[in-house]
Amino acid sequence: MSMSRNCCYSFAPHRYNSGGPKTQILLAKDRIKSNEGLGIWHVGIYAWKVYSTTSQLQKLKDDYQRADVKGLPMGKPRFTQGTVQQGSGRATDGFALIVNWVDGSPFNFQQPPRPFRKALETQNISHSKSDKDYTRVKGGCQSAENVGLQDCQGFVKQGAGEPLIFIDVHTSWNPQTQKYGFSQQAVDMVTDITNWGTSL
């Protein structure tokens, strides 16, 4: 197959179920920019975040594992190592972080920010403290505070199995103290969802 140098990316997993390796072609035009890695692609019902090296793999896996233990909603992440190639460039050993794709209302604290409260409004999350969506969103925010989640960002989706999903997860775990640090963003999210609940 002939590929121009920048037309697309390819990802071939090192492990596969049957029938030989299946290379995933990821078109440059479909790439969502990411501060980390090569980019993010929408592949079927999943989001693929592809990295061209494995230098961050273990650190990210450990961080996601710690966050999972604390109940942070993350869209069932899994890490797959493979060969990454951009067009006809040199292939490298990298990996893909694969999570369930979410098409809800985004939020983040970047500049300009996409406010968490705006996502709650757009998705019409109930103000009832006993509502399932409300309680799950609040629980997710509390988990974010518990792990000192940095650069909080994700999606809110009314009626989804997980109405709050965090992406690009980075906890504030300190290996020296064996404790999580503080996150003002996560505290602000807990405050927002607590104030959102105005009825029982």
Q: Give pLDDT tens digits for 37-77.
A: 999 999 999 999 999 999 999 999 999 999 999 999 999 99
- Paired tokens of 56: 């961050």
Do the bridges between strand 92-100 and strand 46-51 make them parallel or antiparallel, or are there none, so unpaired?
A: antiparallel
Q: State the Cα–Cα distance between residues 113 and 166, nearest whole angstrom.
A: 15
Banded model confidence at residue 2, pLDDT cuts 50, 70, 90: very low
Higher pLDDT, 20 or 62: 62
User: What is residue 50's DSSP assignment?
Assistant: E
Mean of per-residue pLDDT scores for the chain: 91
| DSSP-assigned letters across all residues of 125-165 | ---BTTSHHHHHHHHHHHHHHHTT-SS-EEEE-TTSSSSEE
Residue 100 has pLDDT above 70, yes or no: yes
